[in-house]
Amino acid sequence: MDIPHQRLVYFQVTIEAGSVRQAAARLDIAPSAVSRQLTLIETALGAPLLERSRNGVVPTAVGEMLLAYCRKRSALDDAFSEELDAYQRLETGHLSLTVGEGFVGDLIDTPLRTFTESYRGVRLDVNTGSTSEIIDAVVEDEAHIGLMYHERVHPKLRFWHSSRQPLVALMSPTHRLAREQDALPLAVLSEHPLALWRTGHGVRQLVEEGFREAGLRHQVSMQTNSLSVLKHAARSELTLTLLPAFAAARELEDGLLVARSVDCERFLQAHAHIVTRVGRRMPRAGLQLLRHLERWMRAFNSRTEAGINATHS
């Protein structure tokens, strides 16, 4: 049914007012204009809409159906306006994030907790993935926001915020390299067994690039797809691992691990990134979350580097 909305308003006001003349007075237009609009509706529907009674005009059977339709449509319009108002006030909405596993602890500890406390009606979907999976999720609009490490450029990604987050050596406080105060040469690390991400992971690619450019080979004693396994392996003193410091911020603060910088330009230039798809219009809640992550996540400020190469008792 292709009847202009304003024409339906004339019909509904006529029924509610009880006459064409009174409807015209409410609408501040000529009675002939109201009659003309009602005639156009009747022509479109092929049936009369009104009949006269002692109390004015009343709807015919088709008029009753049209009146019910108008009222349902008006209720839908009102409901949509209320939902839109709530959405614009950031009271409702849905946001999806796909992030590297190393960001999870940093993300959940403070930023998401404080965001959800402020915007309780906004539902968050948080998924983890490799660098390539994060890029695919953002580019294919499966995720509003991506948090990833190391990747520097991509034609379909907008880099909202990037922060230098060097790859560091994480180890037990009792590991003999934990006492070193200077940056660890790659040649020294090549003499120690390493626990690393599986081949294909962004951090593992960065490790491979660093050692290859230095003409060195590393000793991989363990590889995994689990951040938890990497951190526990480093705590065991049997191995070291190579990660950005924010990925183990809680363990570093608690003294369960120590971080030592590595003398490798490739490692030093690694960055953490907040990305969205180029050209995607972000919902208001999404823009607010982007600002929130930039402000509160360790991965996007300099506090994470505090404590690297500091003395631990």
| CA 147 – CA 159 distance, rounded (Å) | 10
H/E run at residue 122: strand 122-128
Contact 18, 56 (CB under 8 A): yes
Q: Please name the residue that has the structure tokens 């088709």.
A: 62
167-269 has the same fold as 95-163+271-300? yes
Q: Does domain 5-89 have CATH number 1.10.10.10?
A: yes
C-alpha distances out from residue 312 to 153, 178, 271, 303, 307, Å: 37, 8, 26, 17, 9
Pairwise CA distance, residues 37 & 7, whole Å? 6
Per domain, the residue ranges of the chain are 5-89, 95-163+271-300, 167-269
> What is the reported pLDDT for 287?
86
**How far, in Å, are 13, 18, 57, 199 from residue 25 at the CA level?**
10, 12, 15, 77
Question: Tens place of pLDDT for every residue, the chain, 313 residues?
Answer: 678 888 888 988 898 888 888 988 988 899 899 899 999 999 989 999 898 887 788 899 998 999 999 888 888 887 787 677 656 665 567 899 999 999 998 888 778 888 888 888 888 999 999 888 999 999 999 999 999 998 778 899 999 999 999 999 999 999 999 999 899 999 999 999 999 999 888 899 999 999 999 999 999 999 999 999 999 999 998 899 999 999 999 999 999 999 999 999 999 999 999 999 999 888 888 888 898 898 888 888 754 444 466 443 3
Question: What's the 3-state SS for 242-283?
Answer: EEEHHHHHHHHHCCCCEEECEECHHHHCCEEEEEEECCCCCC
**What pLDDT was estimated at residue 284?**
80
Taking the alpha carbons at both ends of the chain, their separation in whole angstroms is 79
Tell me, what's the pLDDT at 146? 96
Is this prediction's pTM over 0.75?
A: no
Residue 152 has, within 13 A of its CA and on its CB side, a CA count of 6
| pLDDT at 117 (0 to 100) | 83
pLDDT attached to residue 304: 46
Q: CATH: 3.30.2130.10, 3.40.190.10, 3.30.750.24, 2.40.30.10. Which one for 95-163+271-300?
A: 3.40.190.10
Which tokens hold the place of 83? 């939902």
Interacting residues of 89 by C-beta distance below 8 A, sequence separation 6+ = none
Query: Distance between CA atoms of 37 and 213, rounded to whole angstroms?
Result: 79
Q: Helix/strand/coil (H, E, C) string of 150-167? A: CCCCCCCEEEEEEEECCE
Q: Which residues, 6 or more positions from 67, have their beta carbon under 8 angstroms from its beta carbon?
A: 11, 12, 15, 59
Under DSSP, is residue 14 helix (H, G, I), strand (E, B) or coil?
A: helix
Report domain 167-269's class. alpha beta
- How far from chain centre, in Å, is Cα 277? 11
Q: Residue 146, Cα to own-chain centre: how many angstroms?
A: 7
pLDDT score of 310: 46
